[in-house]
Amino acid sequence: MKKFLLTAVCLSMLGGLFMFGFTAQNLEAGDGKAILETRCTVCHGAGRIERAGHDLDGWKSTVNRMMNKGQFGPKLSDAELQALLDHLVTL
C-alpha cells in the first residue's frame, strides 16, 4: 500500500511538471504575433512590418537594428526573438 501511494504521488508530480512546462512555454515564448504587436509597434505601425517582406536573414538584421535603437529599442530574450522571427517569416 505504501509503495502504491509513493508511485501515485510520483506520477502526479511528474504530470504536474509536464503541464507546467507546457503552459509556461505557450505563454512566454510561443506567441510571436503578440510580441510583434506589443514590442514592435512602439515607434511605427505594424503595417510597416507587414509590408517589408524580408526573408529570415533580412528579418534577423532588421530586428537587430531595431533592438539597437536606443532606450526604446525592444529588449527581447533569445526565446522571444526566436518566436518573433518564426512569426515574421510567415508574413
Interaction of residue 39 with ligand HEC, rule CB under 6 A: yes
Interaction of residue 82 with ligand HEC, rule CB under 6 A: no
Interaction of residue 48 with ligand HEC, rule CB under 6 A: yes
CA distance 50 to 91: 6
Interaction of residue 40 with ligand HEC, rule CB under 6 A: yes
CA distance 60 to 7: 48
Q: How many CB atoms lie within 10 A of CB 83?
A: 21
Interaction of residue 66 with ligand HEC, rule CB under 6 A: yes
Q: Which of 13, 14, 43, 79 binds ligand HEC (CB under 6 A)?
A: 43
